[in-house]
Structure 1
Amino acid sequence: MTKEPIKSHEDLEVYKMAFDAAMQIFELSKKFPKEEKYSLTDQIRRSSRSVCANLAEAWRKRRYEAAFIAKLNDCEAEAAETQTWLKFAVKCDYLNVEIGRKLYGRYNQILGILVTIINNPSPWLIKR
């Protein structure tokens, strides 16, 4: 079985994982209390979506290794921030422990892929 070539950031497995996780967080956060609307709810939605947005930007900056890595570092930071918000959501009883653990684990997978790319960006860069 041959893999399809990656034509866009949307073809990246890590992007698909991050997008799915962000959408799951969006759906789950609809049940968070109203008093969290401008704090935890907004923050967890923003950080989870930022992983995807920064991946899109990183993909377009592949001509310049430093710019590519900088954007991937932003992805990494946003993924870690999302994990922090997930822990708050569980501790505040807004999110079921098991669901929180699964999502936290999903972000560990995302972080692992990002670190792998950051540590070896060459295959991803656009050759001049």
Structure 2
Amino acid sequence: MLITKLTYQCCANFPSDERFGLTSQMRRAAVSIPSNIAEGAGRGSAKDFSQFLSVATGSAYELETQFILAADFGYIREEQLQVVTAELSELQRMLYGFQKSLQPEN
């Protein structure tokens, strides 16, 4: 949820001509992360939950790429990029670990 909030805050300062471009893509990816975690948690099996965690992880990597682009375009400061990418890296690690914990042991 923190990453979604940070994304919306950062995107609020983007140029208005990015409203339907990068802003829209970033907000969708950011909302997708907690949404997929929540939907997966509501499923009846670990296998289903793991699949939704995989989608959330993909959205986290997508958002990270979009933040790097936003910094390259000069829409956010380097300090903002560092804060968000640190949060995203931690989330990616947590999602990976959680997904691994759901896999059956052989």
TM-score for both structures, normalised by structure 1: 0.77
State the 1:58 CA deviation. 1.0
Q: 1:116 — aligned with what?
A: 97
In 2, Cα distance between equivalents of 1:26 and 1:72: 22
**In the alignment, what sits opposite 1:50?**
32
Q: Give, in whole Å, the separation in 1 of the partners of 2:46 and 2:59.
A: 20
Matched to 1:119, the amino acid is K
Instruction: Point out 4+ residue stretches in structure 1 off by more than 4 angstroms.
Output: none
User: Residue deviations 1:77-123, cap 9 Å, x none?
Assistant: 0000010110010000000011111101100000000000111116x
| Alignment of structure 1 residues 6-17 onto 2, 5 Å | none
Work out which of the two has the higher radius of gyration on C-alpha atoms and give 1 or 2.
Answer: 1
Q: Hey, what's the Cα distance between the residues in 1 that align with 2:15 and 2:59?
A: 23
| Mapped pair 1:80 → 2:61 | yes
Picking from 41, 48, 51, the partner of 1:70 is 51
| 2:78 pairs with 1:97 | yes
User: Which runs of no fewer than 5 residues in structure 2 stay unpaired?
Assistant: none
Whole-angstrom CA distance in 2 between matches of 1:102 and 1:24:
9
1:19-72 Cα shifts (integer Å, max 9, x gaps) = 1121111012111011111110001111011101001101101x3122111000
AA in 2 matched with 1:98: E
How many residues in Structure 1 have an aligned counterpart in Structure 2? 103
In percent, how many aligned pairs have the same letter? 20
What is the root-mean-square deviation of aligned Cα atoms in Å?
1.0
Please name the residue that 1:41 is paired with.
23
